[in-house]
Amino acid sequence: MTLREQHTASIHRFAKELGFDFCGISKAEFLEDEAPRLEKWLNQGMHGKMGYMANHFDKRLDPTKLVDGAKSVISLIYNHYPAEPSQEQMGYKIAKYAYGEDYHFVIKDKLKEFFSLIQEEIDADVSGRVFVDSAPVHERAWAAKSGLGWIGKNSLLLNRSMGSFFFLAEIILDLDLIPDGPIKDYCGTCTKCMDACPTDAIPEAYVVDASKCISYLTIELKDEIPEEFSGKMEDWIFGCDICQDVCPWNRFSKSHHESRFDRRDIEKSKEQWEELTEETFRVIFKNSAIKRTKYFGLMRNILFAKKNPAG
């Protein structure tokens, strides 16, 4: 076994030991195929008011601009599918990924441990950076390039063994590793995600108009929710899982094994959500992804859903 093969095997072993479900490796190079797609999407204004999506265009496509001398991109999958996903009996709806502690904290801790193992067991002089949805990294493109799955018609990465209810993370480093190849697209003729979206946020296969996506409207948008979405939000007040819930590949979803993702105090009636005080919000969602909307953003979402019920 060559040194490169040994290093690659070690990377896959570290990922398994740290609880990541899948690990894939890509050569750190410019994402040539993604560049025109991203540029067209931005030019059409489908990023809405997420100005940061247009920033650092080159960095989003070229990992060597994020890490000097980068040679490899390690892509990782970490499951977040809850043991009790159904919210039919709940009041307003929260995306499954936000049930527990903020994933940025949970996964960042694991990535730091991962990088320490690389420096301890492979080479102390390895340089790199770890990422989890917090820098201009084209996560899904790298994950697909490394064979972790394919990008579905809802623009999310789909994995044949576990669907799409997972987080993606990356390590970009100057260590030469053996890359994995991409896999084929298994969406076939299915259009369930497109058909189910109540705001028509998937105008064509593999293209999501984020400015119409319920996740964008309830999290990223800081202004008032436009009236055109009246009656279409289906009681979602933080994120949305509709296009994932209807995806046939998510029948393979299995419960996560991360105690920090266990459900916190979100099982409230509509009345309890509507009466939520700012002080209670700060206590309950101190280390939660829901904190991102801030109290007034969450209350805006609740009020909009209350005033404009579906159907």
Q: Give the Cα separation of 91 and 304 in Å (integer).
A: 14
* Dist CA 240 CA 216 (whole Å): 9
Q: Are 128 and 115 in contact (CB under 8 A)?
A: yes
Residue 244 identity: Q
pLDDT at 110 over 80: yes
Listing DSSP states for 128-187 in one string gives EEEESSSSS--HHHHHHHTTS-EE-TTSSEEBTTTBT-EEEEEEEES---PPPPP-----
Greater pLDDT, 234 or 87: 234
Question: Is the model's pLDDT at 113 over the cut of 90?
Answer: yes
- Which residue type does 136 have? P
Average pLDDT over residues 85-92: 62
CA distances from 166 to 27, 36, 250, 255 (A): 23, 27, 11, 11
- Residue 136 binned pLDDT confidence (cut-offs 50, 70, 90): confident
Which pLDDT belongs to residue 173?
A: 97
Q: Which of 33, 58, 68, 133 is catalytic?
A: 133
Phi, psi of 240 (to 5 degrees): -165, 140
Cα gap 31→36, rounded to integer Å: 10
What percentage of the chain exceeds 70 in pLDDT?
Answer: 94
Identify the burial level of 274 via C-beta atoms within 10 angstroms of its C-beta, where 0-12 means exposed, 13-18 middle and 19 or more buried.
middle
Can you tell me which residue has the tokens 């259009």? 191
| Torsion, CA 147, CA 202, CA 289, CA 297, rounded to 10 | 160
pTM: 0.93
Give pLDDT tens digits for 191-224.
999 999 999 999 999 999 999 999 999 999 999 9
Burial class (CB within 10 angstroms; exposed 0-12, middle 13-18, buried 19+) of 204: exposed
- What phi and psi, each to the nearest 5 degrees, are found at residue 94? -120, 135
Average pLDDT over residues 98-126: 95
Q: Considering Cα of 155, then 160, then 166, then 168, what sign does the dihedral take?
A: negative
The closest alpha carbon to 229, from 246, 214, 247, 209, belongs to 214
Domain boundaries defined on the chain? 3-85+96-173, 192-307
Q: Please classify residue 20 by burial: count the beta carbons closer than 10 Å to its beta carbon, then call 0-12 exposed, 13-18 middle and 19+ buried.
A: buried
Active site residue 133: yes
